[in-house]
Amino acid sequence: MLDNSLSDEATRQFQICNSCRYCEGYCDVFPQLFSLPEMSAAQATHLANLCHNCRGCYYACQYAPPHEFDLNLPAVLAELRQDTWERHALPQALARVFHAHGVAVAAALIAGFALLFFAMAALRPEAGEGFYAYLSHNAMVLIFAPAFVLPLLGLALSLRSYWREIGGGWVTWADLKRMGGSVARMKNLSGGAGQGCNFEQGARYSNARRHAHQATLWGFLMCFAATSVATLMHYGLGWEAPYPFWSPPKLLGVPGGILLCLGTGALAWLKLRADRDLGAARVWGGEMAFVVLLFTVSATGLALYAATGTGAVPALLAIHLGAVLAFFVLTPYTKMVHGFYRVAALLKRG
Amino acid sequence: MSQYDVVVIGGGNAALCAAIEAAETGADVIILESAPKHMRGGNSRHTRNFRCMHQGPLSVLTGTYDETEYYDDLLLVTKGQTDPDLARLAIRESESCLPWMERHGVIFQGSLSGTLSLDRTNAFFLGGGKALVNAYYACAEDLGVTIRYNAEVRHVDLSEGRFTAAILTDGTRIEGRAAVLASGGFQADLDWLTRAWGPEAANFLIRGTPYNRGVVLRDVLDQGAVSVGDPTQCHCVAIDGRAPKFDGGIVTRLDCVPYALVVNRDGARFYDEGEDVWPKRYAIWGRLVARQPDQIAYAITDQKAQGLFMPPVFAPVKADTIEGVAQLLGLSGDSLRQTVAEYNAACRDGTFTPGVLDGLATDGLDPPKTNWARPLDTPPYYGYMLRPGVTFTYLGLKVTERAQVQGAHGLLPNVWAAGEIMAGSILGQGYLAGFGMTIGTVFGRIAGQEAAAYVG
């Protein structure tokens, strides 16, 4: 069910924005808002997912609380986004638990560790090189293929349902180009003039969050590419792991892992300094746990590589793979979905 | 007890420009802002642009806007009630102010949607006036300026013929070697407004900050400072009658009048709604409504007018009949129906063209509607409430070209004034969009430089 009180509140605030328009230059939300002949719940949902929570409009707002108009657009749009993600998730109950509760994410992480320790103990191969000495390639595929494919399948169904709700049509090449350019530069966190957004320093602009997010995004994509390339090399070229440093998987994975580590570390640090009431305050714990989970994935991956040839490898391998497993399985139910919904929102023509 | 080089009284644009200029010379500066931190910035937090002279493209401004054209625009709205020397100074200095503003953190954007007519003359602040105020406070903090919020000055000590200290409402005495008075007008003091205007003023809405109560202005005038500007006058526009008493700002404007029929409490029309395009008429409608019983008026449109003006922040009442609208507005259905019938009968055929004077006038109606007169005949009908909204008052301190305040016995040697508190020196009546920020920036900077030179 769509939470009507949220979209009604967003619509109330949008109406005030529409009569003011001072914030037109900050991001994509306002020009799209001002071009709408009439606001609907579906449009409010779309604009909420387009909002990157840069908070520029809040700090510039002459009607921010305690003004009686009580405008806090970043917060109400964050709540509405959150509602979108939980409403379209399959099943919704899992999304409600993991989005909101960091403890649940931590429990999933521990379950991931446990499963991997157990698998490595139970399925210890007789022979194998590198990591495969501790867990065979087939065992890894057996665990990770469904853990990767099933959540993505569920997410795809959720996105389809979202796309229909907001009335998204066919996507053109121009839409893809616009979206790609926006994501690559994180345009909607630029503040409109490159001065950045308002996050850890309140009313002062800063690019720290934008850069931390870019490091996280690019780091994640490089790590993902490293795994994809390795899969292709394994099945296509018969070139099996372990790979040397001067090989595509390592050249993508090592800098990617470092970027991801730095990016998520910075995001967590910034998040501690920002005002929680300008986001979806009820899911702060879940959001923070997700950032820490991504950090754990990257940090343990780097530690594992650094430990090559030492006795720490089996334990680190279990911990790293456990974290990766938890991350994959939780993808449709954590902040990870924001990227997919955001891309959809950017693809929709205003 | 504290001692500063420069005491800046006020916390809006003019005060901040003065504080920044003075602090940049190394002076020890304090800002006394009467509002709490979240309400800082006076009326500047409601502004959106800066009217700027430029001899060619400058930042976001296109084309050229020279001194002559700017001054002519000003004369047109003030009907000649302006000090030519100070006005020309403000205009000339505005050009160098824009880059100065950018260097101190202000970010400009092109004109907002719906304000294309200003894209050559006015540079808009990204995020509006509060973003500008935030940028200046950050800049002042970085320069080491002491900032006191909730610091309302009750008295300015001029007893020795010069400034010695500002005394806060809690009795704290802030001593300084020089003072910049930049604490705005008195429009938020309804008692003062009522004394000046008459009892009707009690029904006026105040568009800006509730903190501009004119305490410092009154105190300094009581000590013999020379005043300028008509004390009975204020800039007063017609705004949405449901706006909050204070601080409603830009969103309470109501742009429907040219496409509407406007009646008073008794359901009678009282002025030509179509006299001119709205940007040239909204300022007189505040006075027109103020003269009506209970200081209230109602604008009625039909379906045809929807989408012709900026969306109002409060949804209008809506009904399928004129009587229905009257009922929702608390008006007599009979009078309104009769007024509409007379108006409709006076409308004639012709081409309706929104936004330009189309000459589509009523025939034989008093008062006439001389443009955009189309019959109200397409339901649903919409009703809007109008009240006078005060933007600022004209009474101010008389200053020199160097922003120095004129005392009872000549110039006060160490007191300067900037912003709304002295804008009456330049604006005798009327208003030009973005000119208040020009006056505040130009004279704020001058006041800061002069005060710093005096103490330095």
Q: Convert the pLDDT of each residue in A198-236 to its tens digit.
A: 999 999 999 999 999 999 999 999 999 999 999 999 999
Contact B106, B99 (CB under 8 A): no
Residue B112 gets the label, from left (phi > 0), alpha (psi -120 to 50) or beta, of beta
Nearest CB among A18, A56, A69 relative to B127 is that of: A56
Q: Is the pLDDT of residue B350 over 80?
A: yes
What's the pLDDT at B116?
A: 65
**Which of B38, B46, B130 comes nearest A66 by C-beta?**
B38
Q: Which residues on B lie below 8 Å from A66 (Cβ)? A: 38
> SS3 of B197, please?
helix
Is the Cβ pair B307, A37 closer than 8 Å?
A: yes
pLDDT of A2 > 60? The answer is no
β-sheet bridge partners, residue B396: B228
| Multiple choice CATH, B238-389, 3.10.20.310, 2.40.50.140, 3.90.1150.10, 3.90.700.10 | 3.90.700.10
B128 CA to chain A: closest CA distance, Å? 5
- Contact between chains at B138 and A19 (C-beta distance less than 8 A): no
Q: How much is the pLDDT for A241? A: 80
Read off the pLDDT of residues B255-284 as tens digits, 9 standing for 90 and up.
Answer: 999 999 999 999 999 999 999 988 778 888
Cα torsion B307, B308, B311, B312: sign: negative
Cross-chain Cβ contact A23/B128 below 8 Å: yes
Model ipTM value: 0.93
Judged on CB neighbours under 10 Å (0-12, 13-18, 19+), A246 is exposed
Predicted local confidence at residue B25, as pLDDT: 97
**Which tens digits make up the pLDDT trace of B392-412?**
999 999 999 999 999 989 999
Contact of A59 with chain B, judged by CB distance below 8 Å, is answered with yes
| Any A CB within 8 A of B434 CB | no
Contact assessment for residue A24 and residue A317, using Cβ atoms and an 8 Å cutoff = no
Residue in A12, A20, A22 to test binding to B, most B beta-carbons within 10 Å: A22
Q: How far apart are CA A30 and CA A21, in angstroms?
A: 8
Of B45, B48, B251, the CB nearest to A16: B251
Domain boundaries, chain B: 2-230+394-455, 238-389
pLDDT of residue B230: 87
Phi, psi of A268 (to 5 degrees): -65, -40
Q: Check CB contact of A38 with chain B, cutoff 8 Å.
A: no
**Type of residue numbered A226:** A
CATH for the stretch B2-230+394-455? 3.50.50.60
pLDDT value for B114: 66
The Cα–Cα gap between A180 and A153 comes to 23
Confidence of residue A126 (pLDDT cuts 50, 70, 90): confident
Nearest to B112 among A24, A61, A195 (CB): A24
Interchain contact B351–A (C-beta under 8 A): no
The string of pLDDT tens digits covering residues A278-327 is 999 999 999 999 999 999 999 999 999 999 889 999 899 999 999 999 99
Which of B45, B112, B115, B437 to mutate to test binding with chain A, by most A CBs within 10 Å of its CB?
A: B112
Domain ranges for chain A: 87-347
Determine the residue of chain B that is closest to A65 in CA distance.
B38
Q: B311 and A19 in contact by Cβ < 8 A?
A: yes
What confidence tens digit (pLDDT) does each residue in B82-137 have? 899 999 999 999 999 999 999 999 999 977 776 667 889 999 999 999 999 999 99
Q: What pLDDT does residue A146 have?
A: 94
Average the pLDDT over each of B227-231, B325-329, B400-404 and give the range with the smallest value: B227-231
Cα maximum dimension of chain B: 75
Mean pLDDT of B213-219: 96
Give B-chain residues touching A33 at CB under 8 angstroms: none
> Which residues have CB under 8 Å from A229's CB, separation 6+?
A248, A249, A252
Distances (CA, A) of A140 to A310, A311, B72: 21, 21, 80
Backbone angles phi, psi at B301, to 5 degrees: -130, 170
**What is the spatial distance between Cα B295 and Cα A246, in angstroms, rounded to a whole number?**
81
Look at A63 and B46 and tell me if their CB atoms are within 8 Å: no
Residues B454 and B178: beta-carbon distance below 8 Å: yes
Q: Which residues pair with B51 in a beta bridge?
A: B122
Whole-model pTM over 0.90? yes
A44 min Cα distance to partner chain B (Å):
17
Q: How confident is the model at residue A3 (pLDDT cuts 50, 70, 90)?
A: low
Instruction: Kindly determine whether residue A68 and residue B244, on different chains, have CB atoms separated by under 8 Å.
Output: yes
Q: In the structure, what pLDDT confidence band is assigned to residue A123 with cuts at 50, 70 and 90?
A: confident
